[in-house]
Structure 1
């Protein structure tokens, strides 16, 4: 009993001690709260207010421990760098970075350690991290690392990898052209000339043109077989630096290659190998595209190959280049040697003459295809360039004749007649045909007297054609002029006794007389003598038909004749091809087929 009561009393006392009375007014509230925490949690300070906690030891704070350890690793790394133990230094700096990744100097130190190990990729990565921590810093060093990496790759023959390294260096420092230059060298060494040319054009656009850039690009164009562009770049380099030795040396090489190709083209042309000659002169022009002699040569070849459009372009270019060079000499006031001036003058004159020949030959081709209006336009251009060539007027007269422009044709024939030798067959035969044609139209219109006069002019130009006498005979009968008609009939009998028209006319004009009686009569003999004298007078300029043929052959420039060199035209070259060729002229001499259809409408 006593024991249980004692336990009950102790329990009550414990409760009173565990939960002390709050009714005591002698203790402050704060004191009671602290005593309560102490009874509940003992010595634990986790729930104490910060100001109630005792101060900690500095050497036991976490941030200071990390900082101290990172500094230790950094110091060890620096010591390793001093002893050239770069692998150990990398490890030490890496540990320090792990503890304090925000420290820029740690990344820089590790980058330098990697750089000593020639690990450019890792060094660049470290410097890139440092740049992130300090934007705008370390650009020079990072670009230099990329440059070193590119140079090492270049030395190893890894040109494309080197290009990538130099490209990164240029991105870090865009204003430094040295990195782009190294990229150009890598692309050239790798054989990527097109990519190199593209990059070089960007350099010229950004940095501005220089003679070195132009020389570099000229060499690239030469490697790409773009010789004309190579020449242009060399000229641009010389314009910026007239004494540039590299530019002058390249220009000399191009000129020598051009001259060699020109000589080869000349040999091929003399051998009659015109397509091969054209290929060689193309090469010569690529090496020297401002040489007017080469355009003259190629234009002449094109004319001989009947590529008249290309020939005209080249010859016009030759004339323009000659004129420009002459103007430049006058502006500069340079005193040239007389032979050099004569050379340029002769090239210009020859080019102008070849241009006239080309217009004429082109017109002859159009004439042969029935394109008479086009041929007339071409001959107009030729006459505008050269007004002293009678053959041009003859050809234009032929074009007018074919188009029925008789008066224009007659004017051109008469102009040619004034410029040519008297009784020249080329103009004499044409004038005869034209007057016979005009007489035929006069006869159709009933103007018989004018028709007789026209036929008389035709006979005056060519007294050997029986048809002319027949036409004048019929016009004389209409006038009437029977005496003239009888004389013309006798001439017909002498020139062409087989003419079917003779017999009806004979019965009408000499009724009851035979051909032999008429020809043996005094009147017949007198007409014969007069006719022979007239024919002999016309033949005095060319004793026989063979001489006429030879002259026509000289005027007809065909591929059968041997043409001279491009720069030295022979006399045969300077003759103009005629629209009416030798065969057509022979037809005219025999039967006058050009006007046969017209005459047949009124000679009955």
Structure 2
């Protein structure tokens, strides 16, 4: 048809005596006939299975007439027969970039991506084809096949995860996402796997993608599907908070307290009604010696869960720490009051009573100091410092008389009753925590603590804090030693004082003056 057209144009040009135009039309007509011959040759070679020679023929024809798409399509068929899918892909991509995109071209490129095992790109091309032509049956069939393969891989990943084979489960869910990268549920599941494998950065990325994809899947959700999408988004947000918390716990264990605070801030922004997040952030502030920030977080957590023993333990520790600092700053009255708050939250730690006894004695609250010294000796009878303090506050009384008096017995009953109530509350909360862990493993990170919640661990923390007070007590070590060796003032029988030893006189005549020391009048009472 093209050759006839140029032939007619040549005849008309000759009649108009336009030699240049006539020559151009003759050349064009000749090229058309040459292309026809080349294409016929290529088709014969292709039918004979000689794809390489056929490709050369079709390529020559396409070079002669580059704008004629059928010649390029024949070259594409030869490349496909030769298995050169990458060259086919470049050719089709060039058509889509330079020409008008169509559903058929997108479907063709999707098939090429499938041959190259590029399933994600295949999926996106299929979706592009369906957006241009929703009734395209070939694209719909390919999309359905991709979705079915993805769902089978997802089920296999779930089975592997249930068997504890997390790495294999991760490989299966990655395959599912290659075949269907728009499924929010797959990203949620893979994020949970990453979280269990301690790859928190990848888990956070997947949960964010899951939240973004909720309601933006293959079809807009309606009715019940919309409710499922909302529940899925809520689950993704919850998992994101848990991952931030787990990541913060890992940073805390490595001493990266500032990074842990940043992560917990992100978690708290998304879920402000979870007391465990404030507890953990308070622990980070405590490790950074930011006592007031830690106290503020613990108090917020207490408002959310006033019966939480873990919060009470931390409040006791932070108030004890603040009391030690006030004691070192010689604010003894404030220190005693702060130690009282610590004892209110945790009455089972002997160090708190000892600290309050020392602060009360410095603040001239002698009666409170006596009672606290008695409490310390009830819990720790070997505490020599409290023995010395008690004997100094009650001169003329022996230790056995003091500990057996009615006041001491009343103090012991009251203290033991408070400790018993505290221990019962602690054991009750502990049982509830274990039941929650059995019911839902996903809540483990929320209830996880950055520091140990055991009261014994808190006692050890208080013992470490005691060193701050001991450094100040070393200044009065000589005086305390004299008090420890003090003899009782009461004496049932007279005792003779030891004869004073004669002082040796120096040989030199010039000797320094020495103050004379008197040792009594013969009786040491």
**TM-score range normalised by the length of the shorter chain:** 0.7 to 0.9
CA deviation after TM superposition for structure 1 residue 403, in Å: 0.9
CA deviation after TM superposition for structure 1 residue 137, in Å: 2.0
**Counterpart pick for 1:411 among 283, 287, 296:** 296
Relative distance call for 1:421 and 1:133 in structure 2 (3 A) is closer
What does the per-residue CA deviation read over 1:525-554, in whole Å, with 9 as the maximum and x for residues that have no partner? 100111022112323423x4xx56556667
Matches within 5 A, 1:294-305: 294-305=186-197
Deviates more, 1:234-243 or 1:158-167: 158-167
Q: Distance in 2 between matches of 1:593 and 1:227?
A: 61
Moved over 6 A (4+): none
What does the per-residue CA deviation read over 1:51-73, in whole Å, with 9 as the maximum and x for residues that have no partner? xxxxxxxxxxxxxxxxxxxxxxx
Q: Is the 8 A contact 2:391 2:399 kept in 1?
A: no
**Counterpart pick for 1:286 among 178, 181, 184:** 178
| 2:223 equivalent in structure 1 | 337
| 2:465 equivalent in structure 1 | 595
| 1:539 equivalent in structure 2 | 423
Q: Is the 8 A contact 1:554 1:575 kept in 2?
A: no
**Counterpart pick for 1:384 among 269, 286, 289:** 269
Q: Distance in 2 between matches of 1:513 and 1:145?
A: 129
| 1:578 equivalent in structure 2 | 449
| 1:67 equivalent in structure 2 | none
Q: Distance in 1 between matches of 2:463 and 2:75?
A: 78
Q: Distance in 2 between matches of 1:548 and 1:498?
A: 32
Q: Is the 8 A contact 2:310 2:453 kept in 1?
A: no
Q: Is the 8 A contact 1:150 1:166 kept in 2?
A: yes
Q: Distance in 1 between matches of 2:465 and 2:271?
A: 31
| 2:278 equivalent in structure 1 | 393
Q: Does 1:448 align with 2:332?
A: yes
Please state whether the residue corresponding to 1:137 is helix, strand or coil.
helix
Q: Distance in 1 between matches of 2:200 and 2:373?
A: 50
Matches within 5 A, 1:60-139: 134-139=26-31
CA deviation after TM superposition for structure 1 residue 181, in Å: 1.4
CA deviation after TM superposition for structure 1 residue 512, in Å: 5.0
Q: Does 1:429 align with 2:321?
A: no
Q: Is the 8 A contact 1:318 1:351 kept in 2?
A: yes
Relative distance call for 1:500 and 1:245 in structure 2 (3 A) is farther
| 2:63 equivalent in structure 1 | 171
Matches within 5 A, 1:190-589: 190-322=82-214, 324=216, 329=220, 336-338=222-224, 340-422=225-307, 424-542=308-426, 544=427, 547=428, 550=431, 572-573=443-444, 575-581=446-452, 586-589=456-459
Relative distance call for 1:394 and 1:594 in structure 2 (3 A) is farther
CA deviation after TM superposition for structure 1 residue 286, in Å: 0.6
CA deviation after TM superposition for structure 1 residue 196, in Å: 1.2
- Size of the aligned set, in residue pairs, is 456
Q: Is the 8 A contact 1:451 1:475 kept in 2?
A: yes
Q: Distance in 2 between matches of 1:529 and 1:346?
A: 54
Q: Distance in 2 between matches of 1:474 and 1:135?
A: 114
Gaps in structure 1 of 5+ consecutive residues: 1-107, 109-130, 556-560
Please state whether the residue corresponding to 1:485 is helix, strand or coil.
helix
Please state whether the residue corresponding to 1:136 is helix, strand or coil.
helix
TM-score (norm 1): 0.71
Q: Distance in 2 between matches of 1:301 and 1:245?
A: 36
| 1:103 equivalent in structure 2 | none
CA deviation after TM superposition for structure 1 residue 586, in Å: 3.9
Gaps in structure 2 of 5+ consecutive residues: 1-6, 8-22, 475-525
Q: Is the 8 A contact 2:246 2:445 kept in 1?
A: no
Q: Distance in 2 between matches of 1:287 and 1:214?
A: 17
Q: Distance in 1 between matches of 2:150 and 2:217?
A: 19
What does the per-residue CA deviation read over 1:298-353, in whole Å, with 9 as the maximum and x for residues that have no partner? 11111111111111111111111115459x84xxxx7x232x12210111000001
Q: Is the 8 A contact 1:153 1:162 kept in 2?
A: yes
TM-score (norm 2): 0.81
Q: Distance in 2 between matches of 1:184 and 1:514?
A: 108
Q: Is the 8 A contact 1:472 1:488 kept in 2?
A: yes
Please state whether the residue corresponding to 1:346 is helix, strand or coil.
helix
Q: Is the 8 A contact 2:313 2:453 kept in 1?
A: no
CA deviation after TM superposition for structure 1 residue 168, in Å: 1.1
Relative distance call for 1:394 and 1:513 in structure 2 (3 A) is same
| 1:85 equivalent in structure 2 | none
Q: Distance in 2 between matches of 1:551 and 1:511?
A: 50
Q: Is the 8 A contact 2:31 2:64 kept in 1?
A: yes
Relative distance call for 1:598 and 1:370 in structure 2 (3 A) is farther
Q: Distance in 1 between matches of 2:306 and 2:60?
A: 83
Q: Distance in 2 between matches of 1:536 and 1:346?
A: 44
Q: Is the 8 A contact 1:553 1:582 kept in 2?
A: no
What does the per-residue CA deviation read over 1:106-125, in whole Å, with 9 as the maximum and x for residues that have no partner? xx9xxxxxxxxxxxxxxxxx
What does the per-residue CA deviation read over 1:404-436, in whole Å, with 9 as the maximum and x for residues that have no partner? 1111111100000011142x2110100000000
Please state whether the residue corresponding to 1:284 is helix, strand or coil.
helix
CA deviation after TM superposition for structure 1 residue 370, in Å: 0.8
